[in-house]
Amino acid sequence: MKMWSGRFGQSQNPGFEQWQRSFPFDRVLLPFEVAASQAHAAALAKAGVLSSEELSRTVLALEQIAREPIPGADDPAIEDVHHYVELRLVELAGEAGYKLHSGRSRNEQIATDLRLYVRQQIDEVCRLLVELAGEFVNRAYAAGENVMPAYTHLQRAEPVLVAHWLLAYVEMFTRDLGRLADCRQRLNECPLGSGAVAGTILPLDREGIARQLDFEAPTANSLDATSDRDFAIEFVQALSFVALHLSRWAEELILFSTIEFGFVKLPEEFSTGSSAMPQKKNPDALELIRGKAGTVWGNVTALVMSVKGLPLAYNKDLQETQQPVFAAAAEVSNMLRVATGFMATVEFDYKRMERAATRGFMNAMAAAAHLVRQGVPFRRAHELVGKAVRSCLEKSCELEQLSPEDFMLCGIKADQPFYDALTLENVLAIHDVEGGTAPTRVRAALRTAKEKLSMYSGAAHACA
């Protein structure tokens, strides 16, 4: 039986009928549809619409529906998940099943189901993100005081601790966790009781319904509640930031795994061979993460375009806001799982990293800083050290290999303290500022990062 055939004299065009169905994808909402229906049933009983016997029959049948595999999953007569639950409920609980739709509308149901789905996915993505960030923290601890070059413009710039580089990503992931937590808090209001558009027609206890579903409160406006999809857009946007950050990490590791860099050895578990070139080990996992980040941002665009310009309140266009949410949630969860496995197994070649971090005038800035401490204005110091670099380029050597006479020709008085300032240890030590790469600062940053992450781990409502 259709949910709305009474006023129609003709049957639906079969092509249109199939094309507009959402059951092929909205069936993932079944557990949430059932939970919301149970809360509604309880409210109906309180309002005297269901007898206590009908209530328990309804609740038991709904429990069974949640447990059983979906029978007739491909049944073309089922329009959507709401229709499915109603049909199955009538099969299991008899005529009482038709009472469940009293005082509610699919418009509030889908708004509620989707919020419950997003809330659950936020908790899952947060858990996976904490796991990944935890792996970065582990690797940062393990990296100790090993160094690598930091780049600007992808040109060697200054040496940093490997741990400092890893913690940069932990910062990004921590912001991502914050965005998800923020979205969770805002979406946590219950649309049930909003009816089709103007509010339910029955005296339902909306506070009680909200409490039963772990919502903070009922939504405040029925027009808004039935047509709002901000929460879905915010969620997918927050996921897109996760994907964006993963894509930068993936790109760095792709570069660092080339023979040219040689900083990391790709784990075979997460690499692929070439069907043509026998010697190849390709970073497909990383490339897919980089590529899929674009797909996830595409989901944000799809969602925004579906909602843009929609008049209040519910319009069927809103059915289009489901699939991009499901796709992004599944994709980002998988990306996180792969990234975590990758980080747990990737090997760093600290020797190559250190070699790169001590070649290419990575101490030029430290040399200038030393001169500044001697009272030379920075602009002049910059010029003098620049001259020294030019002389190194002619001689094919590093700054610390120039003699005091060579430095003198560039206008620099190179005494022992000056040469001391050029050692790797001292170059790192000058960045002794909060957020800088001096080893004591990085150790402190590691502790802080761990604390911040622990705020998001553990509890079921990790992000709340």
CB of 221 to ligand ARG, least distance (A): 18
| Nearest CB to ligand ARG, comparing residues 56 and 319 | 319
Instruction: Report the candidate in 362, 365, 398 with the shortest Cα–Cα distance to residue 384.
Output: 365
403 is known as an active-site residue? no
Question: Which range touches ligand ARG (CB under 6 A), out of 39-47, 314-322, 429-437, 444-452?
Answer: 314-322
| Nearest CB to ligand ARG, comparing residues 80 and 189 | 80
CB of 106 to ligand ARG, least distance (A): 4
- Other C-beta atoms closer than 10 Å to the C-beta of 405 total 8
CA dist list (Å): 183 to 29, 139, 154: 19, 30, 35
Question: Which range touches ligand ARG (CB under 6 A), out of 143-151, 234-242, 313-321, 451-459?
Answer: 313-321
- Within residues 9-48, the interface with ligand ARG by CB under 6 A covers 22, 26
Of 58, 107, 121, 212, the residue at the interface with ligand ARG (CB under 6 A) is 107
Report the alpha-carbon distance of residue 296 to residue 137 in Å, rounded: 26
Of 88, 104, 106, 206, the residue at the interface with ligand ARG (CB under 6 A) is 106
CB of 52 to ligand ARG, least distance (A): 30
As given in the structure block, the two tokens for residue 251 are 């790109």
Peptide bond preceding 344: is omega within 30 degrees of 0, i.e. cis?
no
When asked if residue 319 is in the footprint of ligand ARG (CB under 6 A), the reply is yes
| Nearest CB to ligand ARG, comparing residues 201 and 397 | 201
- Other C-beta atoms closer than 10 Å to the C-beta of 420 total 12
As given in the structure block, the two tokens for residue 356 are 């790169």
| Nearest CB to ligand ARG, comparing residues 92 and 325 | 325
Instruction: Report the candidate in 137, 209, 205 with the shortest Cα–Cα distance to residue 169.
Output: 137
Instruction: Report the candidate in 178, 133, 68 with the shortest Cα–Cα distance to residue 446.
Output: 133
User: Do the beta carbons of residue 79 and residue 22 sit within 8 Å?
Assistant: yes
- Residue 158: beta bridge partners? 150
As given in the structure block, the two tokens for residue 78 are 């089922």
- Integer-rounded Cα Rg, in Å, for the chain is 30
Kindly give the residue spans of alpha helices, DSSP state H, lying in 364-423.
364-373, 378-395, 404-409, 416-421
| Nearest CB to ligand ARG, comparing residues 4 and 98 | 4
List 5, 51, 274, 454, catalytic entry: 274
CB of 3 to ligand ARG, least distance (A): 9
Of 215, 314, 342, 456, the residue at the interface with ligand ARG (CB under 6 A) is 314
Question: Which range touches ligand ARG (CB under 6 A), out of 104-112, 225-233, 356-364, 414-422?
Answer: 104-112
CB of 188 to ligand ARG, least distance (A): 21
Q: What is the DSSP letter of 282?
A: B
For every residue of 113-160, DSSP letters joined together read HHHHHHHHHHHHHHHHHHHHHHHHHHHHHHHTT-EEEEEETTEEEEEE
Question: Which range touches ligand ARG (CB under 6 A), out of 148-156, 311-319, 374-382, 421-429?
Answer: 311-319
Question: Which range touches ligand ARG (CB under 6 A), out of 106-114, 168-176, 186-194, 430-438?
Answer: 106-114
CB of 91 to ligand ARG, least distance (A): 21
* Residue whose structure tokens are 């190849």: 280
Query: How many residues of this chain bind ligand ARG (CB under 6 A)?
Result: 10
x/- mask, ligand ARG, residues 175-214, rule CB under 6 A, reads ----------------------------------------
- Within residues 69-98, the interface with ligand ARG by CB under 6 A covers 80
275 is known as an active-site residue? no
Question: Which range touches ligand ARG (CB under 6 A), out of 35-43, 183-191, 262-270, 316-324?
Answer: 316-324
List 153, 275, 396, 403, catalytic entry: 153
For every residue of 183-216, DSSP letters joined together read HHHHH-EE-TT-TTTT--SS---HHHHHHHTT-S
Report the alpha-carbon distance of residue 332 to residue 340 in Å, rounded: 12
CB of 72 to ligand ARG, least distance (A): 18
Report the alpha-carbon distance of residue 210 to residue 203 in Å, rounded: 15
CB of 4 to ligand ARG, least distance (A): 8
User: Do the beta carbons of residue 363 and residue 400 sit within 8 Å?
Assistant: yes
Instruction: Report the candidate in 361, 355, 425 with the shortest Cα–Cα distance to residue 399.
Output: 361
Of 93, 147, 236, 318, the residue at the interface with ligand ARG (CB under 6 A) is 318
* Cα of 53 vs its chain's centroid, Å: 45
As given in the structure block, the two tokens for residue 65 are 């529906």
Of 110, 289, 338, 427, the residue at the interface with ligand ARG (CB under 6 A) is 110
Query: Greatest CA span in the chain, whole angstroms?
Result: 102
| Nearest CB to ligand ARG, comparing residues 80 and 234 | 80
Q: Which residues bind ligand ARG (CB under 6 A)?
A: 22, 26, 80, 106-107, 110, 314, 316, 318-319
Residues known to be catalytic: 153, 274
